[in-house]
Amino acid sequence: MTTIEQNDIKTNAEELKPHGLHDVFLRFILWREKHVKEKTFLLFVAFLVGIFGGLAALLLKALIHFISTALTAHVNISAGNYVYIILPAIGVIISALYVRYVVKDDISHGVTRVLYAISQNKSRLKRHNIYTSIIASSVTIGFGGSVGAEGPIVYTGAAIGSNIGQLFRMSPRTLMILVGCGAAAGIAGIFKAPIAGMLFTLEVLMIDLTAVSVMPLLIASITSATIAYIYSGYNFEFFFVQSEAFYMAKVPYVLILGVFCGLISLYFTRVMNMMENFFRSFKHRWLKTLTGCVILSALVFLFPPLYGEGYGAILDLLSGDTSSIVNGSIFYGDRNSAWFIILFITLIITTKAFATSATNGAGGVGGTFAPSLYVGCMSGFLFAYFVNLIGFETAISTKNFALIGMAGVMSGVMHAPLMAIFLTAELTGGYDLFLPLLIVSTISYGTIKIFEPYSIYTMRLAKRGELLTHHKDKAVLTLLKIDSVIERDFLTVKPEMSLKEMVDTIAKSNRNLFPVVDDNGKLLGVVLLDDIRNIMFRPDLYRKMFVSKFMSIPPAKIEIGEGMDKVMKTFDDTGAWNLPVVEHGRYIGFVSKSKIFNSYRRVLRHYCED
């Protein structure tokens, strides 16, 4: 073999050799797309999402526990502690600074942002969302912010699913499932509740349970929960021992508790919305932060159980320990007064929504998931404690009703009765109370639905027409965007143009519709070919007739940012087949009903395919 031949072989070998990890990965992607179906590969990706989602949940819990323990290990439980005034404010300020100057993006309202990404951004979440919510929420909650870690971990898990899916070049429909897998993994990992994790994606994120989605969601949830079990053992998140059996004679109390939890859920939701609007009205960012810190610090100082997630108080009530609810407060000396305990817990239920909204409004990062569990536990306990105190013939278990109340308020706040039932059972092991859990969750959900058709996460998106639901028709209209159906190849005319100029314009166009605009591009009317057909062939009128004389006003105008459901309603109300699209009065183009129907069929076929 000659030297030249040897050099040629060497050169060919070098060309075939992968040039770094990126080339290896790219070749793998190309091989996968050619040999492995996306539905099959989805199961493997869901497994990866479950692993990383579970690890992210463990990291977040560990960071919160470490910070909180380090700061409050030496707090005096028998007196008021001024440290509760300082710590929550410090945590919120650190989080606000981190978000503003490091993240430079809004990462609050995690679940709502996941819903928005699914419906409006093709399930694409930014890469920094994988870790920024973990850092900000661990500081916020660890220092005493009265919020939960579940919203941030849902955001983190969804970002993990979205970015891994993008890395493997998955389709938008598959990305949606992977976002659900990530959210399910986050809930399953942080609560050790795989069934609740999957139900969260179905009821809260409203991802359809189909032949394609069911297995990935289960794989991600089970994988994440398994990682949590390996790390922390096969024990329940909230230790609960049912020392008193539930008898059917107590069902009437359960029915009343369901209505009570529904009304508490309504109060919690309304206060959260009111306070969010209050903080949104601030023009100065740091004045808003200062106001939120003052509200939060004052409430936590007066009611220490509001500090952080409040899981310690839940554990105390589930174990039957009533007096410890006032530990660390200025009211410690009144812990043995039954009526004072009722007043104290009532005030905690009343102020929890204010503390949660103040934390987020001031710049902290956290969710409303844990606060709804917390308020539910307090509400169930308060109900049973009051019934026993006023001396009804049948005493009821405060422990049992505290657990049942958790499911009731969560069901109402999140509009997710199935998730609330299974999450409460998986958190506590209270499967023997499954019947009352079902009753309370169902009645609470039915009660709040009378007043609030949407959950605390979805109501803002629903008002803007940006919410993707299980309703196929509405879901497809939400996925459709007005920009994608605008036709811009219409020739415009001016009102001062003569009929001769109009005829010349018609000769250049293949359309029978002509928008009339002024010098600033503002839409003044339209000219329909059918309306001038009887005069366009009369040369004697060419110099006498002008566009302003024979133009007509369109039956309606569509604003560029309108949702497709509103657009279709406008078409139905007017009976038109073509309508102009404007932006603050300026002409943009036309949208036709036939173009919308074609796009609708295409999206429906893609969205509903299994």
* Burial (CB count within 10 angstroms: exposed 0-12, middle 13-18, buried 19+), residue 364: buried
Q: Tell me the torsion sign for CA atoms 26, 30, 35, 38.
A: positive
CATH code of the domain made up of 23-232: 1.10.3080.10
Average pLDDT of the residues in 390-409: 87
Instruction: Indicate the CATH number for domain 248-463.
Output: 1.10.3080.10
User: 475-608: same fold as 23-232?
Assistant: no
What is the mean pLDDT of the segment spanning 285-311? 93
Q: How does pLDDT run across 98-111, given as a tens digit for each residue? A: 999 999 988 888 88
Half-sphere exposure of 226 toward its Cβ, with a 13 Å CA cutoff? Answer: 10
CA distances (Å), origin 189, targets 57, 194, 430: 5, 8, 19
Report CA torsion sign: 396, 402, 404, 410.
positive
Average pLDDT, the chain: 86
Which phi and psi (to 5°) does residue 225 adopt?
A: -65, -35
- In degrees to the nearest 10, what's the CA dihedral of 479, 184, 166, 128? 100
49: tokens are 């999402």
Taking the C-alpha atoms of residue 395 and residue 342, their distance in angstroms, rounded to an integer, is: 17
pLDDT band, residue 46 (cuts 50/70/90): very high
Neighbour count for residue 133 (Cβ, 10 Å): 31
Type of residue at 466: E
Lowest model confidence (mean pLDDT) among 7-16, 70-79, 457-466: 7-16
Write down the CATH number for the domain with range 475-608.
Answer: 3.10.580.10
Cβ-contact 255, 439 below 8 angstroms: yes
pLDDT of 28 reads 85
Q: Highest mean pLDDT: which of 84-88, 329-333, 386-390?
A: 84-88
Q: Would you kindly state where each structural domain of the chain is located, as residue ranges?
A: 23-232, 248-463, 475-608
**Residue 464 identity (one-letter amino acid):** R
Residue 575: predicted pLDDT = 83
pLDDT tens digits, one per residue of 504-552: 888 888 888 899 999 888 999 999 888 788 888 888 887 888 888 888 8
Task: Pull the structure tokens for residue 515.
Answer: 């928008």
Q: Which of 407, 415, 542, 423 is nearest to 467 (CA)?
A: 415
